[in-house]
Amino acid sequence: MTLPRLKKQLHAALPRLPREQREAVLLIGVEGTAYEEAAEVLGVKVGMIKSRVNRARTRLAELLGLSGAMASPPTADRERGRKRPLPWRQPFSR
């Protein structure tokens, strides 16, 4: 897929997101606003912003026909090659 075509499809897909998700993904992904600042602007908690951005990215990937691997950007941990253990796989402390 060419970049101009992807931009055109993204522009067409954004209005199909719920308003809350669209606002969050535009603040974080386009404007580069920090999660904390976006939460303050929208009057919600940081966790809500992260949830909305995640849902928006997932939905946009579906609308654009992208695979799950391309849907979310790598986290800092994945970029460094580290894996965080899942909470339920932590050893029990006695």
In a domain, 75, yes or no: no
Digitized pLDDT (tens) for each residue of the chain, 94 residues in all:
788 888 899 899 999 999 999 999 999 998 999 999 999 999 999 999 999 999 999 999 999 988 654 545 555 444 445 455 444 444 544 4
On the CB side of 34, CA atoms within 13 Å amount to 3
- What CATH number corresponds to the domain at position 56? 1.10.10.10
On the CB side of 94, CA atoms within 13 Å amount to 0
In a domain, 62, yes or no: yes
How many domains does the chain fold into?
Answer: 1
Q: How far apart are the first and last CA of the chain?
A: 54
Domain that holds residue 58: 3-67
In a domain, 38, yes or no: yes
- pTM for this model (two decimals): 0.68
In a domain, 27, yes or no: yes
In a domain, 83, yes or no: no
What pLDDT does residue 3 have? 85
What pLDDT does residue 28 have? 95
